Amino acid sequence: MSGTTINTPTGTPFVEVIREFDATPARLFRIMTDRDLVAQWLGPRELEATVEEYDVRPGGKYRYIHRDDKGEYAFRGVFHAVEQDKLVIQTFEWEGAPGEVCLEKLTLEPTEKGVRLHQQSVFPSVEARDQSIEHGMEYGINDSMDRLAELLAKES
Q: Using a pLDDT cut of 70, give the percent of the chain over it.
A: 98
Domain span at residue 52?
5-115
Distance CA 105, CA 90 (A): 7
What is the overall mean pLDDT for the chain?
Answer: 95
Residue 46 lies in a domain: yes
> Structurally, how many domains does the chain consist of?
1
Is 45 strand, coil or helix?
coil
Residue 148 lies in a domain: no
Is 123 strand, coil or helix?
coil
List, for residues 4-45, the tens digit of each pLDDT value.
999 999 999 999 999 999 999 999 999 999 999 999 999 999
Residue 138 lies in a domain: no
- For residue 148, what is the DSSP state? H
Average pLDDT (72-78) is: 96
Residues 26, 34: contact at Cβ < 8 Å? no
Residue 150 lies in a domain: no
- CATH number of the domain that 24 lies in? 3.30.530.20
Average pLDDT (36-63) is: 96
Sign of CA dihedral 119, 7, 140, 126: negative
Amino acid 2: pLDDT: 61
Q: What is the pTM of this model?
A: 0.93
